Amino acid sequence: MLESRYLSVEFGGVAALADVTFTVAERSVLGLIGPNGAGKSTFIGAASGVVLPSGGTVTWRGATLAGKRPDQIARLGVGRTFQHARLFPGLTALENVMIGSHLAGRSGVFSAMLRIPRWRKDEEVLRAAAVEAMEAVHALHLAHRLSEDLTAGQQRLVAVARALAGGPSLLFLDEPAAGLTDAERELLAEDLKGYFATHDLTVLLVEHNLGFLMSLVSRIVVFDRGAVLAEGTPAGIRADPAVVDAYLGADHAVR
C-alpha cells in the first residue's frame, strides 16, 4: 500500500501541500486530479525524492519515501514519469529507455543483472527490458530515432516506456497523455490497461484528460489548493458538487 499521512510541503514558506492523507491500495490504479497548482506534481515530487517534505510521511509497503533521495526511492521499486518528458538529446529512444531503466530500476532489471556477471550480458538484459517496455506502449518503431527528432507525443510514450522498463512495483505517471494525438491517447489507454492487468503494479496517475484517466482508474483523489478535497469512485467523484465546483465545471467537461 502507498500511504500518505499528513504530508506537507512548503515552497519559500508558502504551503503547496498541507496535511495530505490518503492511501492507494496494492495493485490498484488511483487517479489524482485537481485544478492547476493544486499540488499534484508536488505530491509526486515528494514521494519520489525531488521535493523535500516539511511534515508528514509517505510510505510504500511500509518503507519511507518522502525525505529520501531519488536513487534510494528508485531502489525500493518506485518508477515515475515527469510532467515534461526529459529525454536525453543526442541519444536514440531505445538508449533513453535503457539508461532510464539502468538508473531507475533496481528491483526487476537490476537484480536480474546481478545474477549475470558479464557486462555484455548486462547490456543485453537492459536492452531486452527496454524493448519489452517500448513494445508494451507501441513505441518500438521509434527505437532508433534520436529523441530530439520525436514529436511531443512520441517523446511522452518513450518516457512512459522508460518508467516501465525499470520494472517498478509502484509507478507515478505525471500527465502521460499530454501532447498525444487522440489516436495516440486511445492506444496508450488500451496499452496501459493491458500492462496494469498483467503486472504486479500499483499506480498513481495524474492526468487532466479525464476520459483517459477515468478509463484506467478504480478510485480518484481530488486535490484543491494543496489539500484533499474529495476521494471516491469515478462515478462518485463525477457527481460530487464540491468537485464539480472546484474542477469539473465548465472548463473541464468529462470527455
Ligand X SMILES: Nc1ncnc2c1ncn2[C@@H]1O[C@H](COP(=O)(O)OP(=O)(O)OP(=O)(O)O)[C@@H](O)[C@H]1O
Q: Which of residues 213-232 bind ligand X (CB under 6 A)?
A: none
Q: Is 33 in the site for ligand X (CB under 6 A)?
A: no
Q: Is 34 in the site for ligand X (CB under 6 A)?
A: yes
Q: Which of residues 123-182 bind ligand X (CB under 6 A)?
A: none
Distance of CA 68 to the CA centre of its chain: 18
CB of 255 to ligand X, least distance (A): 17
Tell me how many residues contact ligand X (CB under 6 A): 11
Residue 14 Cα distances to 11, 37, 47, angstroms: 5, 12, 19
CB of 4 to ligand X, least distance (A): 14
Q: For ligand X, which is the closer residue by CB, 107 or 209?
A: 209
Q: For ligand X, which is the closer residue by CB, 3 or 10?
A: 10
Q: Is 198 in the site for ligand X (CB under 6 A)?
A: no
Q: For ligand X, which is the closer residue by CB, 175 or 184?
A: 175
CB of 157 to ligand X, least distance (A): 20
Q: Is 40 in the site for ligand X (CB under 6 A)?
A: yes
Q: Is 38 in the site for ligand X (CB under 6 A)?
A: yes
Site string for ligand X, 54-83 (x = CB under 6 A): -----------------------------x
Q: What does the binding site for ligand X look like in residue numbers (CB under 6 A)?
A: 11, 16, 34, 36-42, 83
